[in-house]
Structure 1
């Protein structure tokens, strides 16, 4: 060791944080596997007709679905369904758990109940992946994007798509358990980042072809930096509710005064989940109409699906209204799932704590509920503006709508969560080292 106290061995730092490095390497390996799998094509697809379809449907719901799949849909790979079946199944299970008493009881059973709910989510993912893959294959055949039809195409294609969706679900769970960060969020983050260079090159190409002014592109770049800073500021914002402990502590002959603490309530307690949930629910009917509804000689059902895909395209008034309403709904819904004023009020009362000026029990519950509703309203408005603003701007300036909103929000929030988990691991190791220094007999 040098005189400054820094180890001369360059691998000493790696050995000190071997668990963290193992988790990081597992995360990197899982993301590499995911990106490699997104290039494995589904059997029986005509790549020329498929490329022509996406060139004719730029800036539509297909582009947004392709963004969340990391380009897997455009290549029609085995992971073309992406992680959306799992997200949709999670939405259904969480909403049902808030309605059905039996599922609500499972949430309170701890680890055993959580495993049971996860089992239901996996079963729902399988069912949704099967339905979506059948609809996707029917749409591919109707648009002459396949080399064959009938069971010779359906069986291998549906099997490949369902297997890809289930593998992504498993991979996301493994990242959560063995890696760093939330696995599903990391997969979505990797998908968005994979498409970012293409969107940047597309914007530069528009400038070169005269379709966009360079000054406009520079203004949008500065706006992106400002929006990113605003997202970071809002995501870190907290309302600290003061909490006092009425009981005085006595140790020996010394009596200590009451302790003071605070209850941190985040401004956006739901995180990025409302934006992901809302996008997932809107993508399903719109993509179904996009795939199945197109035909040279459409039937009445296909005409209805065509109109549905048209009105639910990004930038359309109905899409903006539904998207904003879903974001607000899921902000309140998910906040109610992760934070219960009644349980917090009961815990404070049992521990002899109280909020200054508020009586324990029912008044504390009503006060927390009032504060939480106001915070959730501000957070819902903030998320709605962030997600809808780029779509409104795109209709005026022709900027690819994928450059803002939901994708930017997801990337910033996932990176912040990733950094916080890294810091938590580092703090754990630091605390462990201090414990060993203070208790050398444990060595």
Structure 2
């Protein structure tokens, strides 16, 4: 405990780090205050606060920190920006123009950022209209259409752009990744209420306090399991040739390439969830198919059919996303240019094949573990955990929380070590993580 307080004192002594942390807290406070400002022309008393507790709407409401159900000016949060980032990133794989931009360095990244912002505006405008039509009932409108729709579409779009600007400011002037921290704060904001609801339901039912304590212990175990997945790496030894420049010797030492067990991060869960929402969407557009037993099973988040297909999709998307984000050929070429080689492996094609084989082997257990984490909330609901509290037992929310916290702690530790202070941990160091990629190379989360 003394070590912990000493570290906090060291953090406060470093002026740059202290200012960055205070800036981060200030920007997050502005975001939380804005999330309670209701859209103009909306009667907040007429809103149904319980309409967004389940399914996709419940997930979006969690990421938005409750703004979605409150019809806030920031109801859509950063999800349109993350969607635009994913689209632009996929375009960077298939469209030659975006592939060229990725190779142009800083100027290329600026153009990609510009395209991402334009696409964010378009996605937000479409989602804003859909949100107003589906979530705001006529009795909650104080202004008649079409003025209500036009006005609040502009307000929701501006709110999303403002949240995106806050995230960029946190990244530049604060500590950690801004977009990721905004999503994390939104998720954490739902934890106290979920904790209280679960405590009241358990203490007032069979099992009492003992059952609640068992749930908390199980939650800690899942968090530890998730940390192992996020930080798990396979080190590949690399030997660099010895070079003598002037009177100094360079190279001749063995280093390691850390290949992450979960290189895809949270993206496979996001893609799989998007596909699993298709049956419910089909049922909403075609009411006659809503009685189909197969579609009903796929739309039920606690059914074994839903979770089986969900887990298989996560495994497939993990391989897919790892294949498009990790390039063994590029790694082998860079290693060869720098005079490095893997002991016992020929440089060039053989090295690329070896790295690809290692990635394939470690991706399988990583994808299976990720699928297990994703379906744990459904398993928790089956044993009686409330639907709100069960979301913290796994899935997208838990992986984002763990990843963002580790990433932020790593940056704080880097500041401490640069000033010759001890890190946050007495033994070992906080390892980095593979965050949610964006078109600009930044790492927000999502979603």
TM over 0.5: yes
Q: 1:98 aligns with which of 93, 101, 111?
A: 93
Cα 1:256/1:17, change in 2 over 3 Å = closer
Relative to structure 1, is the Cα distance of residues 49 and 186 closer, same or farther in structure 2, using a 3 angstrom cutoff? same
Residue 328 of structure 1: aligned partner: 315
* Pairwise CA distance, 1:87: 1.1
Shift of 1:314: 3.7
Matched, 1:354 2:338: no
Alignment partner of 2:377 out of 375, 390, 396:
390
Where relative contact order (Cα < 8 A, 6+ residues apart) is larger, the structure is 2
- Verify the 8 A CA contact 1:45 1:146 in the aligned structure 2: yes
Which whole-Å CA distance do the structure 2 matches of 1:425 and 1:77 have between them? Answer: 36
Offset, 1:430: 3.2
Query: Residues 32-56 of structure 1: CA distance to partner in whole angstroms, max 9, x if unpaired?
Result: 01000000001222334423xx435
Relative distance call for 1:128 and 1:276 in structure 2 (3 A) is same
Tell me the residue number matched to 2:197.
202
2:415 is aligned to 425
Q: Residue by residue, what CA displacement relative to the aligned partner does 1:92-147 show, whole Å, maximum 9, x if unpaired? A: 11111111122112111111111111111111111111111101111135664433
Cα deviation, residue 256, structure 1: 8.9
**SS of the residue aligned with 1:397?**
coil
Distance 1:430 1:306 in 2: 65
Q: Secondary structure at the match of 1:342?
A: helix
1:374 aligns with 2:385: no
How far did residue 383 of structure 1 move? 1.5
Deviation by residue 1:338-367 (Cα, 9 ceiling, x = unmatched): 432111101111222111111100000011
| 2:73 is equivalent to residue 83 of structure 1 | no
SS at match of 1:420: helix
- Within-5 A mapping of 1:163-178: 163-178=158-173
Mapping of 1:54-203 within 5 angstroms? 54-55=49-50, 58-140=53-135, 144-203=139-198
- The alignment status of 1:18 with 2:7, answered yes or no, reads no
TM-score (norm. length: structure 2): 0.81
Q: Distance in 2 between matches of 1:257 and 1:398?
A: 56
- Equivalent-residue separation in structure 1 for 2:276 and 2:154 (angstroms): 22
- Provide the C-alpha distance between the structure 1 equivalents of 2:113 and 2:262, rounded to a whole number of angstroms: 25
Q: Which runs of 5+ in 2 are unaligned?
A: 1-7, 422-447
Q: Displacement, 1:176?
A: 1.6
Give the Cα separation in 2 of the matches to 1:367 and 1:412: 31
Q: Give, in angstroms, the shift of residue 378 of structure 1.
A: 2.1
Is 1:224–2:214 an aligned residue pair?
Answer: no
1:270-305 Cα distance to aligned partner (Å, 9 max, x none):
3334445555x4698799889xx5xxxxxx667779
Distance 2:44 2:291 in 1: 24
2:257 corresponds to 1:263: yes
Q: Deviation per CA, 1:72-96: give whole Å up to 9, x if none.
A: 1121101111111111111111111
Distance 1:127 1:220, change over 3 A: same
Match of 1:41 among 27, 38, 41: 38
Decide whether aligned partners of structure 1 residues 234 and 141 sit closer, same or farther in structure 2, where only a CA change above 3 A counts: closer
How large is the Cα RMSD of the aligned pairs?
3.2
Bigger Rg, structure 1 or 2? 1
Residue range with higher mean Cα deviation, 97-106 or 227-236: 227-236
- How far does residue 225 in structure 1 lie from its aligned partner after superposition? 0.9
- SS of 2:222's equivalent in the other structure is helix
Alpha-carbon distance change, 177 to 272 in structure 1, aligned in 2, over 3 angstroms: farther
SS at match of 1:163: helix
TM-score normalised to structure 1 length: 0.82
Kept in 1, the 8 Å contact 2:300–2:306? The answer is yes
Q: CA deviation at 1:237?
A: 2.1
- Per the TM alignment, residue 193 of structure 1 is displaced from its structure 2 partner at its CA by 0.8
Q: Which residue of 2 aligns with 1:440?
A: none
Question: Could you tell me whether the CA contact under 8 Å between 1:312 and 1:318 is conserved in 2?
Answer: no
Give the aligned length. Answer: 409
Shift in CA distance, 168/73, structure 1 to aligned 2, threshold 3 Å: same
**CA 1:324–1:121 in structure 2 vs 1: closer, same or farther (change >3 Å)?**
farther
- Larger mean CA deviation between 281-290 and 22-31 belongs to 281-290
Tell me, yes or no, if structure 1 residue 402 matches structure 2 residue 397: no
- Aligned-pair CA distance for 1:199: 0.4
Change (3 A) 1:186 1:285: farther
Alignment equivalent of 2:235, drawn from 223, 235, 240: 240
Q: Distance in 1 between matches of 2:132 and 2:207?
A: 37
Structure 1 unmatched ranges of 5 or more: 1-10, 294-299, 432-443
Question: Cα 1:268–1:27, aligned 2, differ >3 Å: closer, same or farther?
Answer: same
- SS state at 2:37 partner: coil
CA contact (8 A) 2:84 2:119 kept: yes
